[in-house]
Amino acid sequence: MADAAATAGAAGSGTRSGSKQSTNPADNYHLARRRTLQVVVSSLLTEAGFESAEKASVETLTEMLQSCFNVDTLPAYAKRSQRMVITAPPVTNQPVAPKALTAGQNRPHPPHIPSHFPEFPDPHTYIKTPTYREPVSDYQVLREKAASQRRDVERALTRFMAKTGETQSLFKDDVSTFPLIAARPFTIPYLTALLPSELEMQQMEETDSSEQDEQTDTENLPLHISPAEASDLWSLTPWPPSSLSPSDSCPCLLRILCSVLHCVTWHSRLPLIAATAWPPLGQREAH
Amino acid sequence: MDRGAWRATVHGVTECTRLSDSHFQVVCINNINFQRKSVVGFVELTIFPTVANLNRIKLNSKQCRIYRVRINDLEAAFIYNDPTLEVCHSESKQRNLNYFSNAYAAAVSAVDPDAGNGELCIKVPSELWKHVDELKVLKIHINFSLDQPKGGLHFVVPSVEGSMAERGAHVFSCGYQNSTRFWFPCVDSYSELCTWKLEFTVDAAMVAVSNGDLVETVYTHDMRKKTFHYMLTIPTSASNISLAIGPFEILVDPYMHEVTHFCLPQLLPLLKHTTSYLHEVFEFYEEILTCRYPYSCFKTVFIDEAYVEVAAYASMSIFSTNLLHSAMIIDETPLTRRCLAQSLAQQFFGCFISRMSWSDEWVLKGISGYIYGLWMKKTFGVNEYRHWIKEELDKIVAYELKTGGVLLHPMFGGGKEKDNPAPHPHFSIKHPHTLSWEYYTMFQCKAHLVMRLIENRISMEFMLQVFNKLLSLASTASSQKFQSHMWSQMLVSTSGFLKSISNVSGKDIQPLIKQWVDQSGVVKFYGSFAFNRKRNVLELEIKQDYTSPGTQKYVGPLKVTVQELDGSFNHTLQIEENSLKHDIPCHSKSRRNKKKKIPLMNGEEVDMDLSAMDADSPLLWIRIDPDMAVLRKVDSEQADFMWQYQLRYERDVVAQQEAISALERFPTPASRLALTDVLEQEQCFYRVRMAACFCLAKIANSMVSTWTGPPAMKSLFTRMFCCKTCPNIVKTNNFMSFQSYFLQKTMPVAMALLRDVHNLCPKEVLTFILDLIKYNDNRKNKFSDNYYRAEMIDALANSVTPAVSVNNEVRTLDNLNPDVRLILEEITRFLNMEKLLPSYRHTITVSCLRAIRVLQKNGHVPSDPSLFKSYAEYGHFVDIRIAALEAVVDYTKVDRSYEELQWLLTMVQNDPVPYVRHKILNMLTKNPPFTKSMESPLCNEALVDQLWKLMNSGTSHDWRLRCGAVDLYFTLFGLSRPSCLPLPELGLVLNLKEKKAVLNPTIIPEAIAGNQEAAVNPSSHTQLVGFQNPEDDHLAKEASCNMSAHQQGVKRKADTPLGSPLEPGQILEKNEDSSKVKLKIRFSSSQDEEEIDMDTVHDSQAFISHHLNMLERPSTPGLSKYRPANSRSALIPQHSAGCDGTPTTKPQWNMELPRKGTGIHVSVSHLEGKEQPPLEMSVHTAAAAPLSVFGKEPASSKHSEHHHHHHHEHKKKKKKHKHKHKHKHRRDGRERGRGPLAFPSPAGGRSARSPSLSD
């Protein structure tokens, strides 16, 4: 019962006078709130013309305030003209905010916000200052950059792959300069050979998006992406035994690669990758 | 019989025909096991005897294990005897290809269904003889199984987890020509038509696709399997029956609902795209032929590990799955469409209309090729069509001039085989199964070109009318109930075809046929001219070379087109025997001063800069045979400016191409300019522009010291394909215009061929190509750039020049040329990227592998085959494998590596993919490690033995492969005994002679024999052989005449053609004859009355079975010792063959007769007594049809005592088990079959698998 009352009171008082103390630990909280309520009741009494009141009656009135209380009418009541402003609770060693930078006038509080509330942020914080990197407009540089980034990514990736797996070499005495990822037979070689790679399909989707017809072959191709697979990449384990999936060589890496290659452009395509880069999941044709 | 007789008159070669017509056949395969790769089923043939006295029925069957044969529900005895399993008995040490080819041809004809032969001979139970005499229907029911077939049916079973359907396992029928006998017993001939019921019981998850209409599919009780019932009511030959079973995805064609497409799991989207075009092909053919597609449905099946890219069967075509492609792929699209169109053309001509005999094959191939050409013209345009014709013409011309003539109709003109000098000494063209594959490809090419020549002669309209007539006759016939003479309308023959042509067109095309069909060879023209100003006449001289091999003389009209200032004029010259010079009056006076437009052939008028011209002559250019109306090669001489005019202004793409290839000889700035202009001209046909690229590169190299400006084509490429602002960067890819796409692909490849004064690729060019690769950007492109990138790698490879090597240092990284380092960097990256993002058909990997081989060969990278060997393994995509194998083949040649050669040959024997095996042999033949004229450490006896074994017995399951092995053997060792073999000892001389004439060893003293051998060996000339033979034959003939005198069978004389003079120059014929002689002599000398039935044996068959029997009997190492002695004994009367012959003759019967319960004693004499009557009967009728399978047995009579002994043993066993249950006998049969395992030849094992005799 007391709890319920306390909650209601807290709600009531919170709306009226802020919830400064509501962050105190439980005991403190109750005490502080009680005290605040008493202050409120007292001020109401003062407003009503009383000069003094017995403690017991204040207690009773406080209890009443907690119990029956109409929230709806509060705002109007709060804005009444002859209201009495409760003084701020005493704050010990209030930190003085150093005025580092001031630009323009701070906005004053609207009338219903007590002045002891924190001030609005400095006006300059509201100013939008869009900043861009200097747009590179030179076509040649762009192409150059795209090409070399792409190449770097490819090389890094293939070297990484070569380092982590079996390799073949063109020179007997050197295996690291031109490492070739070892040839590995597929169980179903024609699938990898014939089905478009994911990168290609992605491109096809993009280039074809305007002229979508039901011929877009992408939709029916089974492509399975699961978060579980993605983790494989980083565990550096050998690729799972190939299955009937078209990308049976290295499913997850492929995807990462696709996205990396895709990123390397002068447009930022990040949102695209995050949201729509992957074709619909595994809509396998029923057969 | 009437058909047979008719056939004989038409061709004059069919000595014997079938004695029965099958008219309905059921094939039922009720169990297919993918795990074990086995098939169990039965066939049921309904047969009408066409002669009385039919007591043996011959069918074709290979590999199948036959359990049981019943005729009208009566058990029937049968013999299974396949002489092609091992062509030559293996103790022969001579390794002589000449000998082999003859024996092989004989073996093939010994089982040729068109001649009424077959591997499986069924004896009609005596209870049915009466039934047969009344020519009543026979129903033959044969239970068979097939275990791990090596040919005919191909199983693809990927080794992954899951059920067979999930693994994508499938099986399909395949083979070269009539190969249906590999998977079920039948009359495997294109001319034996019957209607079909086909039933296949497969796993519920699988789909069986076969010919005809799918009547129903029925689930088994447990719902785990279902049976597909197909009915084919249109009479079809067994050779056109096919099957594909797999977990196919099914697509009903959205445009034509009677067409269904099948592909392997996951490929459906590709299938949709690939087949979306097919209906247009249908429409086209139906329209031009004014005939509906003859079958009620059509199925396309795309399978993996295909035997050939396209195989057409009745109402169904089987394609390689690698033809499937998505909409992003440019290069594959036209190729695939061509394959589809080709297969569809063959549906009409080849499947629906079949051929009468092998010699009529050219008509079908010709017509289907011709209408396919019409489709090409309509689809890809006239330029493409003419370009294709030119390409095909060049191909056939090159082949015939290099390898020898291609004869379309080998047996035309009645009589025996003509005295046509065999154009190809190492194989017989008498039978499709003995042909070299390359020859067959060229044969098809020539056939359609000749069909086009006929069209030129009689007009396309008439041509199509002829086709329509053939089709409508056939479709009327097909709807008839069984009437053999009606159904024969569905078979096309050369004479029938020619008759229709003359009926429809009223024109005599006989000279044309004589020139191109009955005769092999092409024409070689040399043209040169002079302009006689006084007479204003063009003096044209046209010479011919008709003495070189592969050429023939041409007499007849020849068109010449002369472009003059006043216009283009056609002249038809008559090429005659002796006239070389032709005067052609010119129309125009030379008048260059008047500025006037010059009219071209097509009516167009153009401005030309005439300053380059000869001031005196009005001639711009001259073309000889511009319409390609002769199968010819033309070398014509013209001034360079004439070629340049021709290139610039002649509108015919063929003329442009001719001009381009001629301009290579004129490296001048004017040529350069002409080529550059063509390159730039958008209207010009893209293939011409591509050809101009390569020509320009060659010219630039010839002009290297005077060349000015940037490397050839660079500025052009920059202008066309690079960014305006930054000329070193290529535009982002946009392949919407295919013409410029192809040009863009080709130009760098051609540029990489440029060389500077040091004969190196200019640095500028290499940088340029590397930049192209670097800046390649395909993100905005609608199409895949995989072919483009692959060609960039090809370009890199083209730029490689031989490494400068200082005293043969070892190639290491340290001394790597910096340019090569850059190239290697790119190749490494590309090859590695392929692992992560594979390109379509792995085109990039293929190019990388080739490039690496180029680097190895040029000494930049250590030559090492291990990389290629890993890529050549089974499990890689087939294109990669072939590229890798090509590199290994090249390595084998360059490094003379015996180890690699062995590795390749092992793969030929063991690889699971038939195409790869075939291709290895093919590549080895094209790029041989050594040739017959070359000394090589690789050439040793072991290799000879190995190859011999391969072609002799190791490839009996695949005609194409065996012929490939023969080709290789020919390339390596030539026709005669390989030089690396030790000289034969005298004892072995006999063997060599045996193929020439058996009499030699006894009659000709050994010294002479030795001489003869010497004469045969070194020059390996057919002529020589031909020269020698008549003598032998003469001897043989005499002998036979003498002998036959005391033979008692009078009727037999009639059927033995021995008395007739032999045709000279026909080895095959002779060979058969000599074998015949051999048998004759032997039998007559044996004076054993019981053996007289031998005489009716088809001679070659006897010859073959003689060899075969040798094999089938278990033998000991001592056998080879016996052989010569034996044959000798056979020839010398004193050694009565009868003494060892008699006992060995009978055991086969022994086994059957008791089983048949005829109550015969095991004793030999008794059996023979029983045997006599049927044979006697057959003798009466067998004049044209030697049936006597069973007569074969005596052939074994000459076998050693060892055999003899064995059979005694065998007989004892028989006696013991006589009254026991049937299957005992079967086991016996198997034991017998297993016998040869002891024999160390590969064929031994095989014959064990195919039961030679069982119950």
- Give pLDDT tens digits for B743-765: 999 999 999 999 999 999 999 99
Amino acid at B678: V
CA–CA gap between residue B54 and residue B5 (Å, rounded): 17
What would the mean pLDDT of B1222-1246 be, rounded to a whole number? 39
How big is the CA angle at B716 (ends B714 and B722), to the nearest 5 degrees? 85
Q: What is the mean pLDDT of residues B533-550?
A: 90
Q: Report percent pLDDT > 90 for chain A.
A: 6
Chain B positions touching A182 (Cβ under 8 A) are 870
User: Which residue of B206, B252, B324, B326 is the best one to mutate when testing the A interface, meaning the one whose CB has the most A CBs within 10 A?
Assistant: B326
pLDDT of A48 reads: 83
- pLDDT confidence tier of residue B318, bands split at 50, 70 and 90: very high
* Rounded average pLDDT over B872-901: 95
pLDDT given at position A140: 87
Sort out which chain A residues have CB atoms less than 8 A from B272's CB and list them.
215, 217
Give the helix ranges, DSSP H, for B1020-1066: 1022-1045, 1050-1055
Residue B374 has pLDDT above 90, yes or no: yes
Compute the average pLDDT of residues B1081-1090. 36
Which stretch, B22-31, B477-486, B878-887, has highest mean pLDDT? Answer: B878-887
CA A99 – CA A118 distance, rounded (Å)? 14
Instruction: Identify the closest residue of chain A to B734 by CA–CA distance.
Output: A207
Q: Taking the alpha carbons of B241, B246, B252, B253 in that order, is the dihedral positive or negative?
A: negative
Q: What is the pLDDT of residues A163-200, one digit of tens each?
A: 888 888 888 877 788 889 998 888 899 999 999 877 77
Contact B874 A185 (CB under 8 A): yes
Q: What pLDDT does residue B847 have? A: 97
Side-chain-facing half-sphere of A241: CA atoms under 13 Å: 5
Per residue in B551-607, pLDDT (tens digit) is: 999 989 999 999 988 889 999 999 987 768 899 998 876 555 566 788 898 888 888
Provide Rg for chain A, Cα atoms.
Answer: 35
Residues B780-834: pLDDT tens digits? 898 999 999 999 999 999 999 998 876 666 777 778 889 999 999 999 999 999 9
Side chain identity at residue A162, one-letter code: A
- pLDDT (0 to 100) of residue B483: 63
Taking an 8 Å cut-off on Cβ atoms, the answer to whether B828 and A188 are in contact is no
Which residues is B218 bridged to in the sheet? B227
Instruction: With cut-offs at 50, 70 and 90, classify the pLDDT of residue B1206.
Output: very low
pLDDT for B616 equals 79
Distance from CA of B873 to the nearest CA of A (A): 7
In this structure, of B314-328, B630-644, B790-804, B974-988, the range with the lowest mean pLDDT score is B974-988
Least confident of B175-184, B292-301, B1020-1029: B1020-1029
pLDDT: which is higher, B610 or B844: B844
Q: pLDDT tier at A97 (50, 70, 90 boundaries)? A: low
DSSP three-state, residue A53: coil
| Residue among B734, B828, B831, B867 with most chain A CBs within 10 A, to mutate | B828
ipTM score of the complex? 0.74
**Bigger pLDDT: B894 or B725?**
B894
**Closest C-alpha among B593, B571, B478 to residue B527:** B571
Answer whether residue B360 shows pLDDT above 60: yes
Q: From B166, which residue of chain A is nearest by alpha-carbon distance?
A: A244
**Percent of chain B at pLDDT above 90?**
57
At A93, list the tokens. Answer: 């060693």
Average pLDDT of the residues in A101-120: 79
Q: Looking at chain A, which residue has its C-alpha nearest residue B776? A: A147
Question: pTM, whole model, 2 decimals?
Answer: 0.73
Please tell me which residue of chain B has the smallest CA distance to A160.
Answer: B832
Residue whose entry in the numeric block shows the structure tokens 């390596």: B972
How far is B10 from B1242, CA to CA, in rounded Å?
41
Q: Which residues of A touch B875 (CB under 8 A)?
A: 185-187, 189
Residues B502-518, mean pLDDT to the nearest whole number: 92
Cα B114 to Cα B192: distance, rounded to the nearest angstrom: 8
**Set of chain A residues whose Cβ sits within 8 Å of the Cβ of B811:** 171
Residue B1084 CA to residue B1091 CA, distance in Å, equals 9
pLDDT for the residue numbered A267: 37
Share of chain B above pLDDT 70, in %: 74
Q: Rounded mean pLDDT of B410-435? A: 68
Note whether B795 and B748 are within 8 A (CB). yes
| Angle at which helices A251-263 and A198-208 cross, to 10° | 40
The closest alpha carbon to B16, from B50, B60, B65, belongs to B50
Mean pLDDT of chain B: 79
SS3 B556: strand
How far is Cα B737 from Cα B724, in angstroms, rounded to an integer?
Answer: 19
Instruction: Give dist(CA B896, CA B890) in Å, integer.
Output: 9
* Residue A155 touches partner B, C-beta closer than 8 Å: yes
pLDDT band for position A124 (cuts 50, 70, 90) = confident
Nearest CB to A187; choose among B159, B326, B870: B159
Query: Who among A146, A180, A185 is closest to B876 (CB)?
Result: A185
pLDDT tens per residue across span B598-655: 889 888 888 888 888 877 788 999 999 999 999 999 999 999 999 999 999 999 999 9
Q: How far is B159 from chain A (nearest CA, A)?
A: 6
B193, B233 Cβ separation under 8 angstroms: no
CA distance A132 to chain B (A): 25
* Residue B316 Cα distances to B189, B209, B211, B347, B819, angstroms: 18, 8, 6, 8, 53
Query: According to the model, what pLDDT value does residue B423 have?
Result: 66
A140 closest CB neighbour out of B726, B867, B877: B726
- The pLDDT assigned to A109 comes to 84
H/E element, A228: helix A227-235
Query: Do strands B556-564 and B619-624 pair parallel, antiparallel, or not at all (unpaired)?
Result: antiparallel
Under 8 Å between Cβ of B235 and B192: no
End-to-end CA distance of chain B: 31
Q: Residue for token digits 């014509």? A: B636
Residue with the bigger pLDDT between B1161 and A51: it is A51
Q: Which residue does chain A place closest to B822, by CA atoms?
A: A178
Taking contacts as CB-CB distances below 8 angstroms, the residues of chain A near B842 are 192-193
Higher pLDDT, B996 or B940: B940
What is the pLDDT averaged over residues B66-79?
93
Test A193 with B840 for CB contact under 8 angstroms: yes
Distance CA B261, CA B268 (A): 9
pLDDT at B612: 83
B1124: confidence class by pLDDT, cuts 50, 70, 90: very low
Q: What is the pLDDT of residues B431-475, one digit of tens each?
A: 899 999 999 999 999 999 999 999 999 999 999 999 999 999 999
pLDDT at B676: 94
B7-20 residue pLDDT tens? 222 222 223 356 67
A192 with B838: Cβ contact below 8 A: yes
Chain B CB within 8 Å of residue A139 CB = yes
Q: Is residue B865 over pLDDT 80? A: yes
